[in-house]
Amino acid sequence: MTRTASSNQKALIVLGLGSNAGDSRQILEDAIAAISRRVGRLCFASVYKTAPMYVADQPDFFNTAVSGYFDGSPFELLSFVNTIEADFGRDRSKEQRFGRRTLDIDILLFGNEIINEPPKLIIPHERLHERAFALVPLLELLPKALDPRTGISFKEILAALPDQGIIREST
């Protein structure tokens, strides 16, 4: 199922950012500055250090989230964040899936939209419900957020997850 907002509405979005290659904290800071060029009223969460998921043999990640208002379609947002990732050296054709990367930007939420057009775009993010490293900063920004698919609060979803060793690094 796909629900799409009209292109002339600004949508409240949440992006998850992660890095575990290079100066990750500086990369996240610079990526947030780049995002602010197109996302209005940008807010950002604390930075969290987290153990890698899926591929354990790699450095820990530094993760955060940002929220704000985007004037465009979900696919325009995807193109925008993919360009920022590439500007920071990400080359999806040469990387290991779930492996080490300079910058990963995931669209976690786009308003209350539900988009299911794999492999290109799935919103809410298809693995959000299993990733405390994405849910914790999301909830720091939007503590009452609900999963648009189920109507269940992300707080409840996070509470059901096992401890994933997330350490708050900074605000």
Question: E strands within the chain?
Answer: 10-19, 39-44, 47-50, 61-71, 104-110, 115-117, 121-123, 167-170
Q: Give me the catalytic one of 41, 90, 131, 149.
A: 90
Is 38 noted as a catalytic residue in this protein? no
Q: Give me the catalytic one of 37, 71, 106, 163.
A: 106
Is 104 noted as a catalytic residue in this protein? yes
Cα angle 69-65-144, degrees, rounded to a multiple of 5? 75
How far CA 25 is from CA of 21, 30, 104, 169, 170, in Å, comes to 10, 9, 13, 10, 10
**CA end-to-end span of the chain:** 37
Q: Give me the catalytic one of 37, 60, 91, 104.
A: 104
Residue type, 132: A
C-alpha 119/C-alpha 95 separation (Å) is: 17
Q: Give me the catalytic one of 101, 131, 163, 168.
A: 101
Q: Do 117 and 111 contact (CB within 8 A), yes or no?
A: no
Query: So which residues are the catalytic ones?
Result: 90, 101, 104, 106
